[in-house]
């Protein structure tokens, strides 16, 4: 398939191109009519056959040549691209001048009883108005610059789509990696607790914990390909996780949740809270034999969703910093947030008198339907 054939297959291309030149012709016609009014002379519509009709018709026909040459040379080095089109633009200007004169003569023979100018008069007029060639050169470069702008715009949008797709794939890959890292550690603790219940002949508690564990794994797998879920679903998964942890810690653990009703429908990254809650148990609650408290809160602020996870237990080491001590779970969480929000978020870890607080501030996304 030729380059020009591919151009003709672009949806509405012929219509757009013809529409542009039609508008140019109407503007030229109105301009000449305005000049005639300013000079207090009657405008002869017959003269419009040569200009703007023949002139615009010539540009419209030759515009397809420009399109074809652009497609043939758009991958040239910039230097050779400019040199080539500079020479072609001169040829274009001369060709347009000749074609417009010829088409004007043919149109007059078609629509008028007699041509307004003879061949000899046209040749003499050609010699007197050679500067019109540079008008054609200017139009050539205008068409070329418009094509370059459209090409760059198309390339920009294509690169954005590819970049967005790669980011989504990266986020999904990080999400899958987080699940693979989370599940073995969590399953080991859960199964170990179930085994202890079985040894103590506490069958009802073991059955309850097995049921919660299977439900949690089922929900986790069912969300495998979703980058965002409503906060309500995220908290439901956390509740199933906490049901198992409460069985392990029993009366030593107190869980508090303060969630605004309006925040439940806001979409958040899948498994955004899971590694944070798991870290709260692994590095805080499990390190202390005293009564432990875990607090989860979510509230809406103007255009933002603020989520906090607080746990009692060990505080941060004196030399703690996020880069050196982030771990796999928190590191992947922050990397996913960077990919999904392009830096438009906050992730803070601070100490309190009796524990550690993790605060996440996200831009408020669309609510779940």
For the chain, what are the domain ranges?
3-130, 173-363
Domain 173-363 bears CATH identifier 3.40.50.300: no
Range of lowest pLDDT (5-9, 94-98, 360-364): 5-9
Alpha carbon distances (Å) from 4 to 158, 177, 358, 367: 22, 48, 60, 47
For 189, other C-beta atoms within 10 Å of its C-beta total: 16
Q: Which helix (H) or strand (E) holds 249?
A: helix 231-249
- 3-class DSSP state of 363: strand
Q: Within a 10 A sphere around the Cβ of 275, how many other Cβ atoms?
A: 21
Q: Give the tokens for residue 88.
A: 């072609």
Q: What is the pLDDT of residues 11-44, one digit of tens each?
A: 677 788 888 888 888 888 888 777 766 666 666 6
The string of pLDDT tens digits covering residues 207-247 is 777 777 777 666 665 555 567 889 998 898 888 888 878 87
Report the pLDDT value the prediction gives residue 44, as an integer from 0 to 100.
67
Is residue 41 helix, strand or coil? coil
Can you give the three-state secondary structure of 166-223, one letter per residue? Answer: HHHHHHHHHHHHHHHHHHHHHHHHHHHHHHHHHHCCCHHHHHHHHHHHHHHHHHHHHC
Alpha-carbon span 232 to 267, nearest angstrom: 9
Peptide bond into 52 cis (omega under 30): yes
Looking at the predicted structure, is the pLDDT value of residue 331 above 80? no
Residue linked to tokens 């009519």:
33
Closest by Cα among 328, 326, 318 to 351: 318
Q: Can you give the pTM of this predicted structure? A: 0.49
Pairing verdict, β 253-259 and 228-230: unpaired
Q: Give Cβ neighbours of residue 287 (< 8 Å, ≥ 6 apart).
A: 313, 314
CA angle 243, 248, 253 (to 5 degrees): 75
**At residue 281, does pLDDT exceed 80?**
yes
Tell which wins on pLDDT, 307 or 287: 307
Backbone angles phi, psi at 301, to 5 degrees: -120, 170
* Predicted local confidence at residue 178, as pLDDT: 47
Those residues whose C-beta lies under 8 Å from the C-beta of residue 359, and which sit 6 or more positions away, are 306, 307, 308, 346, 347, 348, 349, 350
The pairs formed by 364-368 with CB atoms below 8 angstroms and a separation of 24 or more are 364/266, 364/300, 364/303, 364/304, 364/305, 365/228, 365/266, 365/267, 365/268, 366/267, 367/230, 367/265, 367/266, 367/267, 368/230, 368/232, 368/265, 368/266, 368/267
Lowest pLDDT segment from 129-143, 175-189, 253-267:
175-189
| Cβ–Cβ < 8 Å for 305, 362 | yes
Nearest to 284 by CA among 358, 216, 186, 346: 358
Helices (H) and strands (E) in the chain, counts: 11, 7
Provide the percentage of residues in the chain whose pLDDT is more than 70: 72
Listed as own residue / partner, the contacts of 30-37 with beta carbons closer than 8 Å and 24 or more positions apart are none
Contact 345, 361 (CB under 8 A): yes
Let me know: does 49 contact 113? Beta carbons within 8 Å: no
């Amino acid at each position: 398939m030729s380059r020009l054939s591919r151009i003709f297959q672009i949806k509405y291309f012929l219509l757009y191109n013809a529409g542009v030149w039609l508008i140019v012709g109407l503007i030229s016609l109105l301009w000449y009519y305005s000049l005639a009014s300013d000079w207090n002379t009657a405008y002869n519509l017959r003269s419009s056959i040569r200009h703007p009709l023949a002139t615009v018709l010539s540009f419209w026909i030759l515009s397809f040549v420009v399109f074809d040459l652009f497609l043939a040379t758009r991958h040239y080095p910039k230097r050779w691209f400019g040199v080539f089109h500079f020479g072609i633009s001169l040829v274009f200007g001369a060709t347009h001048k000749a074609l417009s004169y010829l088409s004007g003569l043919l149109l007059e023979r078609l629509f008028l009883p007699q041509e307004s100018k003879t061949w000899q008069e046209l040749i003499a007029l050609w010699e007197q108005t050679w500067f019109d060639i540079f008008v054609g050169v200017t139009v050539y470069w205008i068409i070329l610059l418009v094509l370059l702008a459209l090409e760059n715009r198309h390339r920009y949008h294509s690169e954005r789509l590819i970049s967005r797709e790669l980011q989504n794939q990266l986020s999904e890959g990080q999400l899958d990696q987080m699940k693979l890292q989370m599940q073995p550690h969590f399953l080991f603790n859960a199964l170990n607790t179930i085994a202890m219940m079985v040894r103590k002949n506490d069958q009802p508690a073991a059955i309850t914990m097995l049921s919660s564990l299977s439900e949690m794994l089922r929900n986790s797998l069912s969300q495998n390909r979703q980058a965002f879920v409503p906060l309500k679903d995220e908290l439901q998964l956390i509740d199933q996780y906490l049901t198992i942890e409460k069985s392990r810690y029993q009366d030593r653990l107190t869980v508090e949740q303060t969630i605004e009703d309006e925040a439940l429908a806001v979409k958040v990254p899948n498994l955004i809270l899971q590694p944070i809650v798991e870290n709260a148990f692994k590095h805080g609650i499990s390190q202390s034999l005293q009564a432990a408290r875990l607090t989860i809160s979510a509230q809406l602020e103007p255009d933002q969703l603020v989520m906090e996870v607080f746990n009692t237990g060990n505080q941060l080491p004196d030399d703690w910093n996020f880069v050196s001590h982030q771990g796999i779970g928190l590191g992947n969480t922050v990397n996913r947030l960077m990919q999904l929000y392009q830096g438009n978020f906050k992730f803070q870890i601070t100490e309190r008198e009796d524990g550690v607080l993790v605060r996440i501030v996200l831009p408020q996304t669309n609510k779940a339907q």
